Amino acid sequence: MNRYRVRADKRLLYRGKNGEKARKVFLEAGHKAEYVQVRTVLLLNGKIQAILGPKAGFVRPNSEET
């Protein structure tokens, strides 16, 4: 029997056996302002399946300068 958990930092957002609901909670957490700056993890039977991390800026190198 599969057990799903969704955690945002140290906060438990979902715990249960419904994979579709766990996926929905996980994806919705990625859009909520209070969870944008924390690491959100989807676990299946205690193993990490997916991670949403804090939004980090990315600077693309300028190809003209190299």
DSSP string, 4-33: EEEEETTEEEEEES-HHHHHHHHHHHTTSG
What's residue 45's pLDDT? Answer: 96
Quick one: average pLDDT of 29-48? Answer: 91
Is it the case that residue 3 has pLDDT exceeding 70?
yes
Is it the case that residue 13 has pLDDT exceeding 90?
yes
Q: Encoding tokens for residue 27? A: 């994806």
What's residue 44's pLDDT? Answer: 96
Please indicate, yes or no, whether the overall pTM of this predicted structure exceeds 0.85: no
Phi, psi of 22 (to 5 degrees): -60, -45
